[in-house]
Amino acid sequence: MKKAVCLLVALVLAAVLSGCGLIRIEEEERKPVDYTVVERQDIPAALDEIMNEKKEKEFQLSYQTGEALYLAKGYGRQMSGGYSIQVEELGVSSNGLFFVTRLIGPKDLNEAGVPSYPCIVIKTEPQKKPVVFREGKADSGSEKGE
pTM: 0.74
| pLDDT for position 136 | 87
Residue 46, pLDDT score:
96
Mean pLDDT (the chain, rounded)? 81
> In the chain, what are the domain boundaries?
28-135
Q: How far does Cα 90 stand from its chain's mean position?
A: 12
Q: Which of 12, 11, 65, 77 is nearest to 38 (CA)?
A: 65
Give kind and range of the element (H or E) at residue 19: helix 2-19
Of 97 and 141, more confident:
97
- pLDDT on residue 23: 53
By DSSP bridging, strand 58-64 and strand 36-37 are: unpaired
CA atoms of 27 and 29, how far apart (whole Å): 7
Tally Cβ neighbours within 10 Å of residue 57: 10
Rounded to a whole number of angstroms, the distance between the first and last alpha carbons of the chain is 69
Q: How many residues does the chain have?
A: 146
Give 62-106 as a 3 state SS string.
Answer: EEECCCCEEEEEEECCECCCCCEEEEEEEEECCCCEEEEEEEECC
